[in-house]
Amino acid sequence: MLTDLIRDLVTANRILAHQGVVDAYGHVSVRHPDNPEWYLLSRSRSPELVEPADIKVYRLDGTPVEDDGHQPYLERFIHGAIYEARPDIRAVIHSHAGSVLPFTVCDAPLVPVIHTASDMGHRVPLWDIHAKFGDTNLLVTCMEHGRDMACCMGQNKSVLMRGHGFTTTGRSLVEAVKAAIYLPENARVLMQAMQMGKVIPLTQGEVEIRSRVDPDSPQMQRAWEYWSRRAGMATGG
């Protein structure tokens, strides 16, 4: 099972890179299937280049379970802090997608307006690292940063990060990947709609109904197969 999960995590990296959600930067993790206090995450490498041998196991505090001298992502604390705060979360994705960035530096809320983006949740709070930590390099480089961000996210599925990007989550790796793909698409549609007239967002009830979809349902697996093939990977998940 662990081998299959590592394969799927590599596939997720490739999918997100192919879809333009991540570029040289950004990362995706999944909670360890045998120990909820651990998670799987690549060593510091661009997602499109990640291979199975790059996947490492970390404790929630960001320390590697086996220290083989690899260079970890500086912002791995994003993942550990969310897993610590949210036992229901199985996967975490961090991105700097350009279409989302405007919503991290203004007071216009990022709300769901397309049905495929309902995985982002009804509300996406904005976390400002400066509010508690003052001037920084805007990176989440310790558990204190990560816990403050996770606190801001609360029970929501996603969180914006001022001048930085966004982090989204899922009850499964497939669900998190879907959320990460369609959140930037939702941002693009929303910005276009704001220029045209009054925006009509999805209602909270609509989001809640769509959130009841089984993260392992055939319709989710259909999307995973499609994205995997387009990214040049064998079908997994």
Rounded CA-CA distance 166/73 in Å is 16
Among 131, 151, 129, smallest CA distance to 141 is for 129
Judge whether 176 and 27 are in contact, CB under 8 Å.
Answer: no
Residue 28 is encoded by which pair of tokens?
């995706």
Residue 76 is encoded by which pair of tokens?
């791995």
Rounded CA-CA distance 176/168 in Å is 7
User: 101 by DSSP, 3-state: which?
Assistant: helix
Task: Give strand ranges (E) for the chain.
Answer: 27-31, 38-42, 55-59, 91-95, 126-127, 158-161, 165-170
Burial class (CB in 10 A: 0-12, 13-18, 19+), 87: exposed
Which residues are catalytic, by number? 75
Rounded CA-CA distance 103/96 in Å is 12
The half-sphere exposure of 150 on its side-chain side, counting CA atoms within 13 A, is: 22
Sheet of strand 158-161: strand arrangement: 55-59, 38-42, 27-31, 91-95, 165-170, 158-161, 126-127
DSSP state of 138: S
